Chain A
Amino acid sequence: MSNEFPEMIPRTECHSTRRTYRTKDSRYHMKGSYCTDCGEKYFPPRQGLRCPNCGGRDLQDYYPPKRGEVLTSWKDDVGYPATGYTDFPPRTIVVVKLDDGLHIISEVVEMEGELVEKGTPVKMVIRKHKREDTGNWVYGYKFALAE
């Protein structure tokens, strides 16, 4: 343990760097899938799996719109912060309905834990999250209030 990486404690649930790398597109770009047979869209991605709607097997990359609206929100202040997030202010956890109808679980930044009204427009942003087991920072999507 060094002062350089003060959060570096043994964490049994920490993601490995390899796993973090392999799955990065979904966290950086909200990469999902769409079915070439019926057009149904999915998040998280389902490539190589089965389309639940039509049974099709040809699912391709899909990048959903980066805007949507908040469906519901909750203030994360009940004493169970996620590992790596204990230094963050109370987070505002939300369900976002994207403009194409997909639903994403995420958080709205710079709210200091304040709730967000249903229907509030938001946009996807990339923000710092927590450290991997090597000490590298994990980045990924969050949402911010849209003008």
Chain B
Amino acid sequence: MKDTSRQVAVIGYAMTKPKAKDFRDYRQYAAEPVFAALDELGLKPEDMEVWTVAYNERTVPDAAISPHMADALGGLNAPVIPTSTACAGGGVGTFSLYNYIASGRYDIGASVSFSQTDLFYPMETASAAGNFTDVDYALGLTHFHYSFLREAYYQQEYGTQDLRADAQWAWQDHWYARRNPEAVRYHSPMPTDDTLKAGGIQGMRIRSAAGRSQACVLIMASEDVAREYDLPVYIDIGLANRPAYMGAHFHYPHPDHRECDISHQPGTGVAARRALELAETKVDDIDVFQVHDLTPSDGFMQMESLGVAKPGEMPRLALEGETAVKGRFPTNTDGGAIGFGHSSVGGDFHSKVIENMKQIRGQAGERQVDGAETALAQAYGTHQSIDAVAIMRRCF
């Protein structure tokens, strides 16, 4: 893999706030953060040389959204590159924009993402994604089955069925979310220990992702352009895939990962290594992590795949408080999917990048990690089949 020709930085961002009812169409919804971010930077849409737009195709009836978005955002004369790779869509779009700028072809652009999850019709349409539909989805096995089966396997293999570690991870997400006005659970009361450790639907709901709609934008620029703005943050991104059929996560169809099973996330590890190489840093040097945790076991798996802990070790580290703001690796300081919310394409990658921007700029309030200079954002999509990892560092 060739080195990139120049550094890329995020110079601005914006995102929508959680809102119970929002009757705007998707163009209006996506435009809100775009115009807010551009106004903040003193830029106009015409200043964007290239756009990437990540969206959830299950909420947008228009088959090709690039002309819609180009028209809505003021980018008719610029390339607008759409991507619809489910929850990792923001990562894929940002990866594309990163490469457009790093290559030297463009100097500045916008990575937009949006998803109005209340438009899923019916809820079942959310479930087919990330599944091998000819066999599994056709036989009533959905997105949710994959997720919970993976959790059950992890708990069985690493002895966490008593849910103590899961409850601690979820509690930590809730704690951060109560200190983040952007989090969907900001106003909710903290769950009790009994609720967090409960079995069945009650416990599952408080320990797993809270759905939300969201739209986000990252304004990215080359190093030279970034110098003209306040507090830019370097970004480097890696991207990888895993097989779509979850049964193939055993005897994994790649020679590097033959011994893997569904409690491993090799694509996340590959994407992280690529991003760390580009950033010329190591996972041990990361000050704060944002990972995709639809369930606590999911969070454990991401951290282990990133190389923070050995397989099966993360539950103990969570119980010891290492993911807390004063811990060895503060994690999901925005509240994670459990506390901040899970919006699929809308923010599952972008919101993590934005939280890292706040941390590196020292603007995270009570959630601020002391001395945060290097941060990691990770998201996966289409049920653990597409993996995106970003490393972010203080500029200049």
Binding site for B on A (CB under 8 A): 11-13, 15, 19-20, 23, 26-27, 42-44, 52-53, 71-74, 76-80, 82-85, 91, 93-95, 97, 101-107, 118, 129-130, 138, 140-142
For residue B141, CB closer than 8 A to chain A, the reply is yes
Residues in B with CB closer than 8 Å to A91 are: 140
User: Which of B122, B127, B249, B254 meets A52, CB within 8 Å?
Assistant: B254
The contact string, 1 if C-beta is below 8 Å from chain A, for chain B 256-275, is 00000010000000000000
Residues in A with CB closer than 8 Å to B146 are: 105
In the assembled complex, the CB of A84 is this many whole angstroms from the nearest CB of chain B, namely 7
Taking A72-B149, A105-B246 as given, write out 13 further A-B residue pairs in contact, using a Cβ cutoff of 8 Å, ordered by the A residue number.
A12-B121, A12-B122, A42-B248, A43-B135, A53-B255, A83-B127, A95-B153, A97-B250, A103-B247, A103-B248, A106-B139, A129-B138, A138-B139
In the assembled complex, the CB of B41 is this many whole angstroms from the nearest CB of chain A, namely 40
CB of A77 within 8 A of CB of B247, answer: no
In the assembled complex, the CB of B346 is this many whole angstroms from the nearest CB of chain A, namely 20
Residues in A with CB closer than 8 Å to B5 are: none
CB of A27 within 8 A of CB of B139, answer: yes
In the assembled complex, the CB of A64 is this many whole angstroms from the nearest CB of chain B, namely 11
Q: A95-B262, A104-B247 are in contact. Are A27 and B123 (CB under 8 A)?
A: no
The contact string, 1 if C-beta is below 8 Å from chain A, for chain B 113-153, is 00000000111110110001111111111101110110111
Q: A13-B128, A23-B135, A72-B153 are in contact. Are A93 and B247 (CB under 8 A)?
A: no
In the assembled complex, the CB of A14 is this many whole angstroms from the nearest CB of chain B, namely 10
User: Which of A13, A118, A129 meets B139, CB within 8 Å?
Assistant: A129
- Central interface residue in B121, B127, B251, by most chain A CB within 10 Å: B251
In the assembled complex, the CB of B148 is this many whole angstroms from the nearest CB of chain A, namely 5
CB of A80 within 8 A of CB of B127, answer: yes
Interface residues of B in 78-134 (CB under 8 A from A): 121-125, 127-128, 132-134
CB of B152 within 8 A of CB of A103, answer: no
In the assembled complex, the CB of B161 is this many whole angstroms from the nearest CB of chain A, namely 11
CB of A26 within 8 A of CB of B123, answer: no
The contact string, 1 if C-beta is below 8 Å from chain A, for chain B 192-225, is 0000000011001000000000000000000000
Residues in B with CB closer than 8 Å to A107 are: 140-141
Residues in B with CB closer than 8 Å to A129 are: 138-140
Cα distance, A9 to B168, chains bound together (Å): 42
User: Which of B135, B152, B249 meets A74, CB within 8 Å?
Assistant: B152
CB of B121 within 8 A of CB of A95, answer: no
Cα distance, A129 to B140, chains bound together (Å): 7
- 26 A-B residue pairings within 8 Å (CB atoms): A23-B134, A42-B253, A43-B248, A72-B149, A72-B153, A74-B145, A78-B204, A80-B127, A80-B144, A82-B124, A82-B145, A83-B124, A83-B127, A85-B140, A91-B140, A93-B141, A93-B145, A103-B248, A103-B250, A105-B141, A105-B145, A105-B149, A107-B140, A118-B156, A138-B139, A140-B135
CB of B138 within 8 A of CB of A140, answer: yes
Q: How many A-B residue pairs have CB under 8 A?
A: 119
Residue of B nearest to A80 (CB): B144
The 4 closest A-B pairs by CB, nearest first: A52-B253, A103-B247, A82-B140, A83-B124
For residue B35, CB closer than 8 A to chain A, the reply is no
Cα distance, A95 to B157, chains bound together (Å): 13
Residues in B with CB closer than 8 Å to A26 are: 134-135
For residue B26, CB closer than 8 A to chain A, the reply is no
- Central interface residue in A12, A79, A80, by most chain B CB within 10 Å: A80
Cα distance, A138 to B140, chains bound together (Å): 10
Cα distance, A107 to B139, chains bound together (Å): 10
Cα distance, A85 to B144, chains bound together (Å): 14
Q: A44-B135, A80-B123, A80-B144 are in contact. Are A103 and B149 (CB under 8 A)?
A: no
In the assembled complex, the CB of A100 is this many whole angstroms from the nearest CB of chain B, namely 10
Cα distance, A53 to B139, chains bound together (Å): 28
In the assembled complex, the CB of A31 is this many whole angstroms from the nearest CB of chain B, namely 10
CB of B140 within 8 A of CB of A95, answer: no
CB of A82 within 8 A of CB of B142, answer: yes
Residues in A with CB closer than 8 Å to B145 are: 74, 76, 82, 93, 105
Cα distance, A10 to B134, chains bound together (Å): 20
CB of A103 within 8 A of CB of B124, answer: no
CB of A141 within 8 A of CB of B139, answer: yes
Cα distance, A109 to B145, chains bound together (Å): 16
Cα distance, A142 to B140, chains bound together (Å): 11
CB of B153 within 8 A of CB of A105, answer: no
Cα distance, A106 to B149, chains bound together (Å): 11
Cα distance, A143 to B244, chains bound together (Å): 22
CB of A72 within 8 A of CB of B152, answer: yes
CB of A95 within 8 A of CB of B149, answer: yes
